Amino acid sequence: MLIDPRQATLLVIDIQEKLIGAVSDPTGTLSRARWLLAACTDLKLPIVISEQYPKGLGPTVEALKAAAPLANVVEKLHFSCVAGNCLPGAMLAREQVVVCGMETHVCVLQTVLDLLELGKQVFVVEDACDSRTTASKAAGIARMRDAGAQIVSREMVLFELMGSARHPQFRHISKTYLVGEQP
């Protein structure tokens, strides 16, 4: 199954100011998530950003919000966005959810498992997820894969959203996100 831009939403989970420094690759994770957010914004994919207890953990990293100024930002206390009942109805009405964020083995995992339970097709962007340890990230990715989530890369997301070199944004996406050194 491919990602369908008419049925997909991007969900960015808990990449927050006070959490980012605790993950195994904070600079890389932030750069790759920003790249994905900006590209999905250019492709006009609906975007939801979750924040785990922002009063204590701070807001989403500003560079991410700047990359997706129209994103719907939601707050939660549950680790799972689904259990936290914070996801917008418009997002839940779509069949597919592309997910990235942190921590892979906690909030991302629990949200993905709950989305799968709702019958959603879930695509986890492995290179835009992180945890405090690489072992925890690997365990989270393995469990999501075993549960039925599709594990994808950022480039897979872009090419599936465009579908063809005839896509009106193909030239812009290629020049902006696919040339030179990538995060």
Q: Which residues contact 73 (CB under 8 A, 6 or more apart)?
A: 48, 49, 50, 51, 60, 65
Q: What is the pLDDT of residues 48-104, one digit of tens each?
A: 999 999 999 999 999 999 999 999 999 999 999 999 999 999 999 999 999 999 999
The whole-number pLDDT of residue 46 equals 98
The reported pLDDT for the residue numbered 43 is 97
Tokens 């994770």 belong to 29
Among 107, 127, 129, 137, the active-site one is 107
Which tokens sit at 110?
């629990």
- Average of per-residue pLDDT values in the chain: 97
- CATH number for the region 8-177 comes to 3.40.50.850
Interval 2-50: pLDDT, tens: 999 999 999 999 999 999 999 999 999 999 999 999 999 999 999 999 9
- Residues 129/137, Cβ–Cβ less than 8 Å: yes
51 and 59 Cβ atoms separated by less than 8 Å: yes
- Beta strand 8-13 with 47-52 is parallel
The amino acid that residue 3 corresponds to is: I
State mean pLDDT over 160-175: 96
- Tell me the mean pLDDT in the region 158-183: 94
User: In which band, very low, low, confident or very high, does the pLDDT at 180 lie, cut at 50, 70 and 90?
Assistant: confident
The verdict on whether 107 is a catalytic residue reads yes
Active site residue 76: yes
pLDDT of amino acid 182:
84
Domain extents in the chain: 8-177
Has 14 been annotated as catalytic?
yes
At residue 129 the predicted structure's pLDDT band, cuts being 50, 70 and 90, is very high
Region for 163 from its dihedrals, namely left if φ exceeds 0, alpha if ψ lies in -120 to 50, beta otherwise: left
10 Å Cβ neighbour count for 36?
Answer: 29
